[in-house]
Structure 1
């Protein structure tokens, strides 16, 4: 028996799945996030998107809530977001 704890399994489809993107604070980063989400999770609720600025205003986080349909979708979202140098982290 292993002492390592296994991460929880996600059951798909998974409604209200949050994706948080951290990057440079500008409108291009925000627009990129929305474009990628629309490509991979069409019809996501844009009214639930939240944007938070860092204390010095240099960075921002954008949180989007989607219905995750599978690992392939989440991998594609992560890959498309990480192409941009403006994106620092995707969670």
Structure 2
């Protein structure tokens, strides 16, 4: 580190916008996790097509991961999506 900023500023400089990002939300394979993720993301990126979302069940089928691929327009938009997903009780992990 060069001493002219903190680690957060350096990490932020690695992100560019607009750019394509893949956000993965994981939770138990109960209810409709895909619909929950779609609704939470749609509040911040309303024009995403169904093809922007992909699901994958764990080997035993107990867990489900939903990956959303989107072109984020700003750091604020990306942060808002991560916050929305992270605060939902059905979602255990967001990457």
2:87 is matched with 83
TM-score for both structures, normalised by structure 1: 0.82
1:18 is matched with 22
Give ranges in structure 2 of 5+ residues lacking alignment.
3-9
2:53 aligned with 1:34: no
Q: Please tell me the root mean square deviation across aligned C-alpha atoms, in Å.
A: 2.0
CA distance in 1, matches of 2:68, 2:31: 15
TM-score for both structures, normalised by structure 2: 0.79
Count of matched residue pairs: 88
Deviations 1:28-49 (A, max 9, x none): 3211100011111121132132
Give ranges in structure 1 of 5+ residues lacking alignment.
none
